[in-house]
């Protein structure tokens, strides 16, 4: 199965570090970040899980639940968490799914035979409250994920879901945004964007970020 943007994220029940976890039930009406790891006790992934733990308040502020996945056992996960907490000076406070039977890996297309026939690739999914997949990024084994970028994308998705805007390249919270081209009614534009806008081109109209 190949997941695409807009697809419903597959539901699953699997053992995890907090017991049996039913994904959709656990997620509820929150946003979620699901990210996979090829194996426990891997150096890059150790730093990633530590970085994620340190950002838990930022994820919570955005109504985002975080869920990691590795094909190793729950027992191995608990040992790895102890290492993560020690080496990264943090406390992992989100679940890690044990996917020994590859059920989740197959549902989320995480086994790429040309990379490895047994280990999962390092993919990350952002999933919205309606369980729709909104972002998919797959990283090479040698490159750690940029979690500042993950938070930036979540901010953009949450903003653009509620306003008729898109976010330009390298956008950060508080910067100008783009009025979507489909919005052409000037009266409606004035109503939606009382601070006005500047038209760099007819199709490129920038306005202060709505609140």
Closest alpha carbon to 96 in 170, 190, 176, 14 = 14
Q: Cα–Cα distance between 211 and 162 in angstroms, integer?
A: 10
Q: Cα–Cα distance between 98 and 100 in angstroms, integer?
A: 6
Q: Cα–Cα distance between 48 and 84 in angstroms, integer?
A: 9
Separation in Å, CA 150 to CA 45, 52, 93: 16, 10, 18
Question: And the tokens for 105?
Answer: 């890996």
Q: Is 32 a catalytic residue?
A: no
* β-strand partners of 136: 125
Number of other residues whose CB lies within 10 A of the CB of residue 204? 12
Quickly list DSSP for 40-64: SS-HHHHHHHHHHHHTHHHHHHTTE
**Among 9, 32, 45, 98, which one carries the catalytic annotation?**
45
Active site residues: 45
């Amino acid at each position: 199965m190949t997941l695409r943007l807009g697809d419903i994220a597959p539901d699953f029940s699997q053992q995890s570090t907090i017991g049996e976890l039913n994904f959709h039930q656990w997620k509820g009406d929150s946003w979620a970040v699901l990210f996979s790891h090829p194996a426990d006790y891997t150096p890059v992934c150790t730093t990633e899980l530590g970085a994620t733990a340190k950002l838990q308040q930022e994820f919570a502020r955005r109504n985002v639940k975080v869920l990691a996945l590795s094909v190793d056992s729950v027992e191995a996960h608990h040992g790895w968490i102890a290492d993560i907490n020690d080496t990264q000076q943090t406390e992992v406070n989100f679940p890690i799914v044990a996917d020994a039977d590859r059920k989740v890996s197959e549902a989320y297309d995480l086994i790429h035979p040309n990379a490895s026939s047994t280990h999962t690739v390092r993919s990350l999914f952002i999933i919205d409250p309606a369980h729709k997949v909104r972002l998919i990024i797959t990283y090479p084994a040698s490159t750690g994920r940029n979690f500042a970028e993950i938070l930036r994308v979540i901010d953009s998705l949450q903003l653009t879901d509620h306003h008729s805007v898109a976010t330009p390249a390298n956008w950060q919270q508080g910067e100008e945004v783009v009025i979507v081209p489909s919005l052409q009614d000037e009266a409606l534009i004035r109503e939606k964007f009382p601070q006005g806008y500047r038209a760099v081109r007819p199709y490129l109209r920038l306005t202060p970020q709505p609140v």
